[in-house]
Amino acid sequence: MREIETDLLIIGAGPSGLYATYYAGFRGLRVALVDSLPELGGQVTAMYPEKMIFDVAGFPAIKGRDLVAGLVEQAASAHPEYFLDRTATGLSHDEDSVTITLDDGTSVRAGAAIITAGIGKFSPRPLPAGDGWVGRGMEFFVPSFAPYAGKDVVIVGGGDSAFDWALHLEPVARSVTLVHRRDAFRAHQRTVDQVLSSSVEVVTKAQVTALLDNGSGNGVVEEVEITVDGAEPIRRPAQAVVAALGFVADLGPLQQWGIEVQKRHIVVDASMRTNLRRVFAAGDVTEYPGKVRLIAVGFGEAATAVNNAAVAIDPTAHVFPGHSSEGT
């Protein structure tokens, strides 16, 4: 077992976690950051790195991957110790610290911990017809548009991700077909209208019932079968299928720590404290009256959590450290 000591441990490397990492360095704290994903950036990196984000202060529009790149560069000033592709599994307390154990046996002892786990650990909802096709032409996320250039792409789903990807792939792919089992969509209406007025073929009240390689023997998808309610199945060429059916998310082992949870979110007070001593939370994972789940809100919560954690770590410290512009 590897044992690590630090001032502050942050669980979750999405935007809020990365900003909390920077702010911990600004407060002069040693900081470690753990995430179950192999890359920094959390849900932004895993699900929509190419998507434009419009509600981050100071940026009229910024691509997801560019936002993450800036946050990673900013966090680097804290010289953090990263534990990626690791899951926080256990928690214990003593008089002046909290100890988090990871699934690889690593033990991290810290003066305080901040949970910035976003939606928690998430798994994509499966496409029944896609069983066995993952990595053979079918994927659940679109981290880059370039691999889809010149291909016939079929997207399954009716939510924001499905419509965002359809809109962005339309000028890149040879053709894009969006298949949804209902004739109503969960996506933002503006994006729906943009897709409906584009060259994307939208097939509703339908399901993809088979992925086919046409017996070519190359083992990758070449065609899909689409079954529309009350009609004979139709076929469309497809060298790529994106199953954008949403995902199942949960807090995993964190729920066994005795932390107060409300509808899969961690309850905090105005200081971002949880009901557990020396454990704080920030970002989308938190719940309190009037909570708004935006990246911009998560940044403010991260700073609040770090400043209050700093006092828990060192009772002689002040909650407000002064403005960064006042530093040397």
Binding site, by residue number, is 16, 35, 43, 48, 88, 122, 284, 325
DSSP character for 126? P
Q: How many CB atoms lie within 10 A of CB 254?
A: 23
Query: In sequence order, what are the residues at sequence separation of 6 or more whose Cβ sits closer than 8 angstroms to the Cβ of residue 81?
Result: 4, 6, 31, 32, 33
The span from the CA of 9 to the CA of 30, in Å, is 9
17 three-state secondary structure: helix
Token pair of 71 as six digits: 């946050």
Q: How far apart are CA 211 and CA 293, in angstroms?
A: 37
Contact by Cβ (8 Å): 243, 156: yes
Identity (one letter) of the amino acid at 198?
A: S
Which of 142, 93, 116 has its CA nearest to residue 35? 116
Which residues face 207 on adjacent strands? 227
Please enumerate, by residue number, every residue annotated as part of a binding site for FAD: 16, 35, 43, 48, 88, 122, 284, 325
Asked if residues 239 and 138 have their Cβ atoms less than 8 Å apart, the reply is no
| Residue partners of 295: CB distance under 8 A and separation at least 6 | 15, 16, 53, 55, 56, 67
3 forms bridges with which residues in the sheet? Answer: 107
> Residue 182: what are its φ and ψ, rounded to 5°?
-125, 170
> What is the four-CA torsion angle of 40, 43, 45, 50, rounded to 10 degrees?
-160
- SS3 at position 140: coil
- Give CA angle at 201 (198, 204), nearest 5°: 120
